[in-house]
Amino acid sequence: MTANVEDILKDARALSPYEQLELLQELAQSLAKTLSPIPGTPPEFWSGYSLEELAQQQNIPVVHNLQELVMPDWPEEDEVDDFIKYVKNQRTECVQC
């Protein structure tokens, strides 16, 4: 490792964790622009989006009323706890496959 890189690392370690993460993101984006494994890929392809940005781009509907999520054909006699137990059992069986 060169002295220049060691100096940069020393300065980077003095940053807050948030600032270190921001530095890593900027370095990754910079490298992605110059070392793109897919020729002709625009830099925007490699930039990360927040959940809010992704939801807006994909026109994800906003749920204003939880009743909108209720399954209309859910049998009243079925308890949610039984359903959760069933799902857990299915996952356990799948892991043991």
pLDDT digits (tens, 9 = 90+) for 16-74: 999 999 999 898 888 877 776 677 777 677 677 888 888 888 988 888 998 888 877 77
Q: Domain-by-domain residue ranges, the chain?
A: 3-61+70-95
Vertex 47: Cα angle to 55 and 17 (nearest 5): 95
**Res 66: pLDDT:** 87
| Cα separations in angstroms, 17 against 50, 60, 66, 89, 90 | 19, 32, 37, 40, 40
The pLDDT of residue 96 is 60
Model confidence at 95: pLDDT above 70: no
Cβ-contact 22, 35 below 8 angstroms: no
pTM: 0.38
